[in-house]
Structure 1
């Protein structure tokens, strides 16, 4: 059985008699005692032996106890040691306050009783043990948080691979119309639910990154109307399938602002999806207006529904993580309870505000987003990009998931591209060197040679003639930055919508 370590006290006092007396009291109480007669000696011994408590006289021959305490606190190796000042000279309240302000944990004036000294040392020892336990717990929680983030990243990667195969396959099917109404409905269900799953995966990862301050916006000047039209195009089929009306009112002129188009789409997709989820019958209204506030212009977007409403006791915390209006055991509404948390965080990152209103259960709800617009002098629309005509390309597809690889190849060939495929990084590099494709779509998580190494090899052996696109289940700014450093031209996250991939290939 391992014997518990005896607590160690460093006794610092230049008076031999006082130092001896304190030593004897502490030793009789069961402590291991070290001693020092000067401030510099105390600092050296504290760093070497790391005592549990230091009994530190204020008046020392070289530097004062105040200075010793300040230096202990400034040194990371000794900052956590408990310090008790003692003094027979500096006994006034202002001197005690100075000692405590300098970092001491307690202050005893001499003469003191042996019981008072021992009780104070024990109190400081308990304080130190509590701090150490709290520090260990904080380190454990930080490690658990790190492992959780790693798990979520791996989970997203594993989920995105099958989602990519499903989304690509349904994209192929949708290009071959069917007269069978039942089959058409089933295709619509698969399409909507796949997109819903993809959004859930993105939200799950985003909430972890946002709460840790890891999300960076990729901003540029854009027209908010265009963003909202894109969102409506995605959302409308789902609302119509539920028998809900979607009324949209947009201004005639552009609403120019500085923002991240992807994140803005995420904001309004979440709000509209949330409105549809909590509305059984009736309609959803999206109304956009421009308002002036204190000499500056704002875009005001209101999403209103005729759904179940928000109870008054839930309304103040509706944007909190995992908060939901439907808290019944049946959980008929679904969702993770993180969408509105993402909305608030992303709106705030854009310099805006979001508020929720409801008159209570069964009376619908309204969410209002306010975003700052650019000054009217800056509202000149950017010159339109020249329209490009798409021609068949020679494409190398490097993907280790067989279903995802086959679905992507058939979709690309449907668009008229010549496709060669490789199941791993080594074969991908070999084919690229031999066949010299125009463009390579490369998964990151590949066996043998990962996608980053593939990009580096192709840049060194093929050069800049080949365009490289990373298609990966690992999202986040870290993966994006690493992909660009490795030599990729673009970094996109699975599952890629077929129409988005089509636009991407046309623009490269």
Structure 2
């Protein structure tokens, strides 16, 4: 392997340079020579040697400066550098050279064997660094492909989920033929929502590992968030024959937080509790103010009477893919990522989460502590009167290439009394928008030909603010939302959109 390496030998003393070059060539290396610092920098750029044997004292610029410039240039920064000197031989000079970026320092005179051995050592180090760099680049590329795959997978899963969610929303608004039909509709609703949460959790874990999750903080009362989450979970608990008790403090718990992410935290904890608690069990939720380390805060406790957690699993329960149910049957389901998200989101809010269990069969308790706003800043009025939401018939353009999703959403909107125009691609959507002038357009992003971003840009250019634009898409990342706003969309909705949420949106416009 030695004769594939190239050495740049830099020394203004011809005799010393000749001896070093001859020694290195006899060892099988290809050698290029330079007598000045500037010549060394030029050859390093042109030849890209594996090692530079660099004398410190040169006629134009010092070897220290040459080494500094090599390190500053990304194209030569990885070249191994060995200082040599017959003048600067004191320990402080060696320290200066090594701290300046050199990989080795030999004082003259030195034996030929010492020179060759040091070069071989530097070559081994350089090969190891190159292998590590290639492996890192390979891992980064694999990680990029993984993220792309997850984004595409989420998009492809959300299209059929959107069609199912919308279709079930229509069925749910009609009286069932018999009790069995009503139960079947409820099952489809629950399982579709469960699939949607799994897709969201999978993508959120990917974003968390890349540090790409940003909080959209607003001033809120934590009690309101908990009431919303509990309202959603009570029917699920009843269906599983579980008792769900809640004890919320009467004191307002004002905080700066991301409402959606808080709901995600407590939805995952309650989902976990219902999953691991058998019929006849109980789940208790308690919310109360608790200060920690002199900071105002609130504690949310989610306690269940479920299967409990073994002591050996408890320390790693928040780790990615860790699960309490490790049996082959895995009857409890799940991906093992919900609690990982809980910990990450709680910590992003400046809080802490802990898990406790007395062992198998003894249930579990998860405690979340979140910081509150100081009492001095509590200027929020206690009684807030919200205006009544006025529903009215709207003229809506729906641009969606998935036939099932398009038909289901059109039927749902028409059931609510809206006038709906539909288009299966972006170009047709543009034509209808200009011809029929709807007040609102629901536009899918992944359209054939002209994508949703281009559609929004064209509509803004042609119609200005005369039309409201809502992106309806399977791409839900922060970068996707930013791009949607830049294209001209007023809102960005991630599929599947629950009918109640869409109805609320149309009422609030």
TM-score (norm 1): 0.96
Partner SS, residue 462 of structure 1: helix
1:253 aligns with 2:254: no
Matched, 1:84 2:85: no
The more displaced of 495-504 and 312-321 is 312-321
1:4 CA drift (Å) = 10
CA displacement 1:407-452 (0-9 Å, x = unmatched): 1111111111111111111111111111111111111111121111
Q: Following TM superposition, by how much is the alpha carbon of 1:294 offset from its aligned partner in structure 2, in angstroms?
A: 4.4
Correspondence 1:131 to 2:132: no
1:117 is the counterpart of 2:115: yes
Aligned residue for 1:454, secondary structure, equals helix
Give the structure 1 partner of residue 159 of structure 2.
Answer: 161
1:238 aligned partner: 236
- Deviations along 1:40-61, one digit per CA (max 9) or x if unpaired, are 2212221221100011122222
Work out the CA distance in 1 between the residues paired with 2:5 and 2:278: 67
- The structural deviation recorded for 1:494 is 0.4
Q: What is the alpha-carbon distance in structure 2 between the residues aligned to residue 193 and residue 381 of structure 1?
A: 39
Structure-1 residue corresponding to 2:211: 213
Q: Report the equivalent of 2:222.
A: 224
Give per-residue Cα distances to partners, 1:385-422, cap 9 Å, x unaligned. 42221011111111111111111111111111111111
What SS does structure 2 have at the residue aligned with 1:76?
coil
Mapped partners of 1:475, 1:4: distance in 2: 53
Q: Secondary structure of the equivalent of 1:416?
A: coil
Matches within 5 A, 1:46-445: 46-178=44-176, 180-281=178-279, 282-381=281-380, 383-445=384-446
Separation in structure 1 between the aligned mates of residue 166 and residue 379 of structure 2, nearest angstrom: 38
Which residues of 2 match residues 454-465 of structure 1 at below 5 A? Answer: 454-465=455-466
TM-score normalised by the chain length of structure 2: 0.96
- Say whether the 8 Å CA contact 2:268–2:342 is kept in structure 1: yes
Q: Deviations over 1:252-308 (max 9, x none)?
A: 233221111111111100011011111124111110001233443211101111112
Cα deviations across residues 131-152 of structure 1 (Å, max 9, x unaligned)?
1111111111111111111111
Unmatched tracts of structure 2, length 5 or more: none
* Residues 317-362 of structure 1: per-residue CA shift (max 9 Å, x gap): 2111111122222222211111111111111111111111122222
Q: Which deviates further from its counterpart, 32-41 or 484-493?
A: 32-41
Q: Aligned partners of 2:408, 2:480: CA distance in 1, in Å?
A: 24
Distance (Å, rounded) in 2 between the aligned partners of 1:448 and 1:44: 51
1:435 & 1:482 partners in 2: Cα distance?
27
- The 1:477/1:131 distance shift into structure 2, 3 A limit, reads same
Partner of 1:307, secondary structure, is coil
Moved more, 17-26 or 234-243: 234-243
User: How many residues are matched?
Assistant: 506
User: Structure 1: how far apart are the matches of 2:6 and 2:186?
Assistant: 72
**Correspondence for 1:29:** 27
Name structure 1 gaps, 5 residues minimum: none
Q: Note the C-alpha offset of 1:384.
A: 4.1
The 2-side partners of 1:377 and 1:393 are apart by 45
Structure-2 separation of matches of 1:487 and 1:93: 65
Distance 1:61 1:264 in 2: 67
Give the C-alpha shift of residue 94 in structure 1: 3.0
- Sort the Cα spacing of 1:120 and 1:457 in 2 relative to 1 into closer, same or farther, 3 A: same
2: distance between equivalents of 1:254 and 1:163?
37
| Cα displacement (A) at 1:89 | 2.8
Distance 1:65 1:480 in 2: 52
Deviation at 1:458, TM superposition (A): 1.3
